[in-house]
Amino acid sequence: MFGLGVAGMAVANALHQRGETVILADDEATQQHQDFARALSCEFVDLSNKSAVPKILERVHRLAPAPGISENHHVITTARKMGLTISSELELAYNIEEQRNGGPRPMLGITGTDGKTTTTLMTAAMLHAAGHKSMAVGNTDTPLIAALETDTQVFAVECSSFRLANCEHFRTRASVWLNLAPDHLDWHDSMESYAAAKAQLWAHTKPGDIAVSPVDDALILRIAQESTARTVTFGAVEGDYHAQDGRLNTPHGSIMNVSEMKRSMPHDITNALAAAAISIESGLVEPSHVARALSEFDNAPHRIEFVEVIDGVKWFNDSKATSPHASAVAIRSFQNIVLIAGGRNKDLDLSELADQPERVKSVVAIGDDAQEIEKAFDGVCRVVRGGSMKEAVRLARTLAKSGDVVLLSPACTSYDWYNNYMERGEDFKQCVRNEAKLKQEQIN
């Protein structure tokens, strides 16, 4: 097992519990790694020294890399040259579940560049409304392999390209590929490699499986139709699952009025349609269950999350948006935006951020790649630079007027100032609340 983060440790635990001999490895030898190895009575090796890698790999019959290990990492490339089997967390979990006493439990899969987590959580909520013990797993807080020991009846599996890249058998009863745009090009060798990893979602389908595709993406639709699964489509206004006359519609009838959804931004509607498609077409959920779930659904934090109103300005936290494509979705949701963007870029073209100039009135650029944000909006609108989140929030407050929206949607990772996007989002929310508190004190 190479890479001892959350997923790596979960894989190591699962394999060890099933009697396999596991060698633990990482790029660095921390005390936590040493303690974990000792707790499992497993050998730990430090693979930061490239010359030591071949000798270690000669001792194993399979490499299980953590999702965060890129496909061009020296351990991965060496394993490929040696012809070693490389298995992702999803692959290992799927193989274990296939051998389960009583048979494997149903899985519904979700991949895409943006919207995966929201659609996965919506799917789990729909399954729950139908009376199933469901769990959102995979690229979430809980790896699929860690959930296998629970009494879950159906798994909603968020399938990142990192986890799909090294799958030879993994499949789900029904699955959706939401969208495709440049992302994670610091992990994948190329856009082609990224798309190929996503396509693994349908590489091992069987007749009777369901492949749900956006009706307006020719590439995704073609890959779905070339699989052995039955293809079902979704879209904002067209497709088997679509919205029309203010209602969510399916081939089996209407689900509900859009106004009855707890939140109904444009991307909420398409995500809901995608989740409904895999849930209903799998035979596990009825339209009435979908309606109940969507009327109560609360999204996870840091995804266009409302924070506060200060002087008539609404503040939203979209820290999860770590690519221009993700930020573009948030920008399309509002008018008169003061955008806070930046961080550490993932080798992506940030110019897409400026494709909606009628919506963005000014920008606060932050983080290591603030200069790239400034370049993207050069000649489009006013751009200022914030040296910290506190400064960025204060600058945004001076730029925004009543009726405007301040939107943190970074289009970059958080790894320059923070450990993860959650930490960045929480800092933003605290800074905004501090500003609101200051405003209230001034009034009093």
Query: Could you report the per-residue pLDDT of 370-390, keeping only the tens digit for each?
Result: 999 999 999 999 999 999 999
Q: What is residue 189's predicted lDDT score, i.e. its pLDDT?
A: 85
Kindly report, residue by residue over 143-177, the tens digit of the pLDDT: 999 999 999 999 999 999 999 999 999 999 999 99
Phi-psi map region of 432: left, alpha, beta (phi>0 left; psi -120 to 50 alpha)? alpha
Q: Where does 6-86 sit in CATH, by number?
A: 3.40.50
Q: What is residue 141's predicted lDDT score, i.e. its pLDDT?
A: 86
Kindly report, residue by residue over 236-256, the tens digit of the pLDDT: 999 999 999 999 999 999 999
Alpha carbon distances (Å) from 251 to 18, 85, 112, 378: 44, 42, 23, 47
H or E segment to which residue 406 belongs: strand 405-408
Establish how many alpha carbons lie within 13 A of residue 229's alpha carbon, considering only the half-sphere containing its beta carbon. Answer: 28
SS3 86: strand
Q: How confident is the model at residue 109 (pLDDT cuts 50, 70, 90)?
A: very high
Q: What is residue 341's predicted lDDT score, i.e. its pLDDT?
A: 98
Establish how many alpha carbons lie within 13 A of residue 401's alpha carbon, considering only the half-sphere containing its beta carbon. Answer: 4
444 pLDDT above the threshold of 80: no
Closest CA to 11 of 98, 95, 92: 92
Q: Under 8 Å CB-to-CB from 35, ≥6 apart: which residues?
A: none
6-86 shares its CATH topology with 90-296: no
Q: How far is Cα of residue 249 from the mean position of the Cα atoms in its chain?
A: 26
Alpha carbon distances (Å) from 200 to 64, 110, 231, 404, 436: 17, 12, 16, 42, 47
439 pLDDT above the threshold of 80: yes
How is residue 404 annotated by DSSP?
A: -
List the domain boundaries for the chain.
6-86, 90-296, 305-443
Give yes or no for a contact between 214 and 233, defined as CB atoms under 8 angstroms apart: yes
Task: Return the CATH class of domain 305-443.
Answer: alpha beta
Alpha carbon distances (Å) from 196 to 187, 247, 276, 372: 13, 35, 25, 28
Give yes or no for a contact between 258 and 247, defined as CB atoms under 8 angstroms apart: yes
Give yes or no for a contact between 114 and 181, defined as CB atoms under 8 angstroms apart: yes
Q: What is residue 300's predicted lDDT score, i.e. its pLDDT?
A: 87
Which of 70-74, 189-193, 392-396 has the highest average model confidence (pLDDT)? Answer: 392-396
88 pLDDT above the threshold of 90: yes
185 pLDDT above the threshold of 90: no
Closest CA to 258 of 249, 284, 250: 249
201 pLDDT above the threshold of 90: yes
The Cα–Cα gap between 129 and 118 comes to 16
Give yes or no for a contact between 70 and 189, defined as CB atoms under 8 angstroms apart: no
The Cα–Cα gap between 250 and 266 comes to 17
- What is the mean pLDDT of the segment spanning 93-112? 97
Residue 75 structure tokens? 């351990």
* CATH T-level assignment (fold) for domain 90-296: UDP-N-acetylmuramoyl-L-alanine:D-glutamate ligase (3.40.1190)
Q: What is residue 68's predicted lDDT score, i.e. its pLDDT?
A: 87
Q: How confident is the model at residue 60 (pLDDT cuts 50, 70, 90)?
A: very high
What is the number of helices (H) and of strands (E) in the chain?
16, 19
Write b or e for each residue in 78-92: b if 16 or more Cβ atoms lie within 10 A of its Cβ, otherwise e: bbeeeebebbbbbbb
Q: How confident is the model at residue 187 (pLDDT cuts 50, 70, 90)?
A: confident
Give yes or no for a contact between 85 and 108, defined as CB atoms under 8 angstroms apart: no
* Listed range (47-56, 193-202, 336-345) with the worst mean pLDDT: 47-56
Alpha carbon distances (Å) from 423 to 7, 250, 394, 413: 19, 39, 19, 11
Q: How confident is the model at residue 307 (pLDDT cuts 50, 70, 90)?
A: very high
